[in-house]
Amino acid sequence: MMHQAVRRRLSACAAGLATMAMALGFAAVPAQAAPPPTADYVALGDSFAAGQGAVPYTDQNCFVSRKGYPEIADNRRDIKLTTNAGCSGHLIKDVVADAHASVGSDTKIVTVTVGGNDLGTTEVLMVCLPAPESVECGRAAATVRTKLESDSFALSLAEVVAAIRTKSPTAKVVFTGYPRLFAPGHPFAAVANPLADGLNRVISGVADATGSDFVDVSGAFAAHGIGSAEPWINFSAAGIQDPANFHPNGEGYRHGYYASLVGQNAFDLSLN
């Protein structure tokens, strides 16, 4: 009988402790929120998609950098970068081929940065930098403007979207623009910056016509061109052939490109 009484007292004590624990909240630990679903993401494009200009490189042939905007996006909990096919020198036709090779049926988001190489913008820079007022510079810039006005350039950009949707019909396709490379007042700004604006207008128009998104990065880079107090674009006059020249640095990719993508909802599938 004594043992039974002790057991009853111990049981009552345990019940009391359990009640107290519940009252104090120890037994009501809230469940952790489920992580957001992960979207498969493919990056396509030229050197600006690869991250050229933000050393060190993980791929010396394509100048792919972990500081590029696709790799930064891969750090998000809701994004899984399955392929960064960005590569220095890539033309639109290369990106079409990359879309067929890299985009899969599970791909949810595809970013595209391409077009500058097809226009020969690098050649314009090399011709015009020594003499922006020269006849040769004027001709080079006029050639770019003619290409921008042609239907073939816009149609070739639309082929990128068609290639993506052949592999993943519901993928969110996001074109990015290009920054103005030079700060206002720079001797070359009057030549180069209008060409960047023209290229962005065409890309934006193609995005609208194909049901894709367009992310404008020009605002983010507005105070950070070559010649500004805090440039996000690399330029070394002493090493004009440096591959980093005329490409964003790490700050440019993070605060210029990635911030613009986030700020303009590029990775938000609810708006697709």
Residues paired with residue 44 on neighbouring β-strands, in sequence order: 112
Q: What are the pLDDT digits (tens) for 144-200?
A: 999 999 999 999 999 999 999 999 999 999 999 999 999 999 988 999 999 999 999
Residue 119 in any domain: the answer is: yes
Residue 99 in any domain: the answer is: yes
CB-side neighbour CA atoms (13 Å) of 109 = 27
What gap in Å lies between CA 161 and CA 173, rounded to an integer?
A: 7
The domain total for the chain is 1
Across the range 125-130, mean pLDDT stands at 87
Residue 17 in any domain: the answer is: no
Q: What CATH number is attached to the domain comprising 169?
A: 3.40.50.1110
What gap in Å lies between CA 109 and CA 272, rounded to an integer?
A: 10
What stretches of 103-258 show up as alpha helix (H) in DSSP?
A: 116-119, 121-128, 135-149, 151-167, 189-209, 250-251
Q: How far does the chain reach from its first CA to its final CA, in angstroms?
A: 73
Percent of the chain whose predicted confidence (pLDDT) is above 70 = 87
Q: What are the pLDDT digits (tens) for 14-36?
A: 444 444 444 444 444 455 666 66
pTM: 0.86
Residue 183 in any domain: the answer is: yes
Residue 13 in any domain: the answer is: no
What gap in Å lies between CA 38 and CA 24, rounded to an integer?
A: 36
| Domain limits for position 50 | 37-271
Residue 269: pLDDT over 80:
yes
Residue 123 in any domain: the answer is: yes
Residue 203 in any domain: the answer is: yes
